[in-house]
Structure 1
Amino acid sequence: MSLKIRLARAGAHKRPFYHIVIADSRSPRDGRFIEKVGSYNPMLPAEHTDRIRLQTERLEHWLHHGAVPTDRVARFLGKAELIPMPAWNEQPHQSAPKKKAQERAKAAAEAAA
Structure 2
Amino acid sequence: MALKIRLARGGSKKRPYYHVVVADVRSPRDGRFIERLGYWNPMLAKDDAARVSLNQERIQHWLDNGALPTDRVARFMAEAGMMTREARNNPNKAQPGKKAQERAAEKKQKEEDAAAAAAEAAAAPAEEAPVEEAAAE
Q: TM-score under structure 2 normalisation?
A: 0.69
Letter matched to residue 99 of structure 2:
K
Query: Who wins on radius of gyration, i.e. which is larger?
Result: 2
User: What's 2:71 paired with?
Assistant: 71
Q: Hey, what does 1:5 align to over in structure 2?
A: 5
**In 1, Cα distance between equivalents of 2:22 and 2:54:** 12
CA distance in 1, matches of 2:43, 2:92: 24
Contact 1:41 1:51 survives alignment (8 Å)? yes
Residue of structure 1 equivalent to 2:38: 38
Q: Which amino acid aligns with 1:37?
A: L
| SS at structure 1 position matched to 2:76 | helix
Does the 8 Å CA contact 1:75/1:86 hold for their aligned counterparts? no
**One-letter amino acid matched to 2:100:** A
Partner SS for 1:59:
helix
Structure 2 CA distance for aligned equivalents of residues 22 and 46 of structure 1 = 24
How far is 1:57 from its partner?
Answer: 0.7
What is the number of equivalent residue pairs in this alignment?
Answer: 108
C-alpha distance 29-98 of structure 1, shift in aligned 2 (>3 A): same
Is there any run of 5+ residues in structure 1 with no aligned partner, and where?
none
Counterpart amino acid of residue 2 in structure 1: A
Distance 1:46 1:102 in 2: 39
Q: Provide the rounded CA distance (Å) in 2 between the counterparts of 1:2 and 1:103.
A: 46
Q: Unpaired runs of 5+ in structure 2? A: 112-137
- Provide closer, same or farther for how the CA distance between residues 89 and 55 of structure 1 changes in structure 2, counting only shifts above 3 A: same
- Report the counterpart of residue 101 of structure 1 in structure 2: 100
CA separation of 1:99/1:8 partners in 2, compared to 1, >3 Å: closer, same or farther? same
Instruction: Name the structure where helix makes up a greater proportion of residues.
Output: 2
Identity of aligned residues (%): 56
- Provide the C-alpha distance between the structure 2 equivalents of 1:92 and 1:51, rounded to a whole number of angstroms: 33
Q: Which has the higher contact order (CA 8 A, sep 6+)?
A: 1
Query: Alpha carbon RMSD of aligned pairs, Å?
Result: 2.3
Q: 1:57 to 1:24 in 2, by over 3 A?
A: same
